[in-house]
A and B are shown apart, each in its own frame.
Chain A
Amino acid sequence: MPARSEIGYDSKIEGDFIVTRIDAALNWFRKNSLWPMPMGLACCAIELMAAGASRFDISRFGSEVMRFSPRQSDVMIVAGTVTYKMATAVKRIYDQMAEPKWVIAMGACASTGGMYRSYSVLQGVDNIIPVYVYVAGCPPRPEALLDALIKLQNQVQHEPLLATLKKA
């Protein structure tokens, strides 16, 4: 266990029970089971599929359950060029996802519009939905996506979950 982890357990000292904080435990449940909504829009989706396949195997990080229903997914992976024609559909699917929800912008196009400085392409999906992690690359290799997923997991682990729940 890394030093900054909030869940430490030593069976020799603590015996059969674990002491932790409730939001640390809840976040721990959440971060290890981030079901993706694969928003595959262009060639990045091929790398997303590679990340899901056996060689790179995204299931090592608990994200192998690609859900094509927004109701059942936690993290939207926007993989590819978001055209203006598609933008409203992406926004609607994001709105349909149940809280808590996160977004990974995979690749240059989803992050900034990429090389498409033109009339037809949305200049970054963060114009319409909040993005938690941006992945550079055109397209990014599957390792880069896995790195983004780990970064997102770290963000999820440190969310002040209980505080925000109380406010609501």
Chain B
Amino acid sequence: MNALDLAKQLQAKFGDVLSEPAEFRGEITIQLANAERIAEVCEFAKKELGFDYLVDISSLDNYGEDPRWTVVYHLRCLANGCELRLKTGVSEEKSELPTVIGVWRTANWHEREIYDMMGIRFRGHPDLRRILMWEGYPYFPLRKDFPLAGKPTVVPEVAFTKTAPLEGGPFVTAPGGKDAIEREPRVRTPEK
């Protein structure tokens, strides 16, 4: 039983919302069209297909596109080592999808981290607090429209932040330039 077979079984069960399994360099990815059904799909993947380990949940900010958020679930079957990646889009207006804590309890902190960094809420989460930043921090710092240097904030008695000096930075590479000076500029002003 390999990951592709399991993905096909999952797709046969939820054919109306799941895309064909895409294989890239031996890794299988399935796109879920309706984020509202993520818990249901995950439940089946765990109970019937043996994906008993949730490796990670991560999120992407496709800034300027719709849906803005992509939430990525990495599933693993410990018995036979199969891995499966589940992706689902969430629109910016909604910014909410069901929690999968009912399936894997480890999802608790993963979902808190995504809420903390991206501001995507997980409906049904029993304890949706910030996990890395502190309560009262007003921004979601991994969003693409949040500046790398940060923004000044203060929560009295808890923490403060200031804007980091970025003289000459950030030293990020720009792909596609014709020479090294263009690809790796000394100074690149971040787009506003």
Contacts and interface: CB of A to CB of B under 8 A. Distances in A.
B149 A118 contact: yes
B81 interface: no
Contact of B148 (A88, A113, A119, A127): A119
Contact of B166 (A117, A120, A121, A127): A117
A85 interface: yes
A69 B45 CA distance: 50
A84 interface: yes
Interface string A68-87: 00000000000000001101
For chain A, give the interface size range. 10 to 19
A123 interface: yes
Interface string B139-168: 101000011111100000111111011100
Contacts of B133: 85, 120
Contact of A84 (B148, B149, B159, B166): B159
B63 interface: no
Could you tell me the dominant secondary structure of chain B's interface residues?
A: loop
B170 interface: yes
Contacts of B148: 117-119
B150 A118 contact: yes
Contacts of A121: 164
A85 B162 contact: no
A138 B141 CA distance: 26
Given A88-B157, A88-B159, A120 B149 contact: no
Interface string A90-104: 000000000000000
Give the most central of B134, B146, B160, B170: most A CB within 10 Å. Answer: B160
Interface in B159-187: 159-162, 164-166, 169-170
Contacts of A85: 132-134, 159
A127 B170 CA distance: 22
Interface of B: 132-134, 139, 141, 146-151, 157-162, 164-166, 169-170
Given A119-B164, A127-B162, 19 more contacts: A84-B161, A85-B133, A87-B160, A88-B157, A88-B158, A88-B160, A113-B164, A117-B148, A117-B165, A117-B166, A117-B169, A118-B149, A118-B150, A119-B148, A119-B151, A120-B132, A120-B133, A120-B141, A120-B150
21 contacts: A84-B159, A85-B132, A85-B134, A87-B159, A87-B160, A88-B157, A88-B158, A113-B164, A117-B164, A117-B166, A117-B170, A118-B148, A118-B149, A118-B164, A119-B149, A119-B151, A120-B132, A120-B141, A121-B164, A123-B165, A127-B162
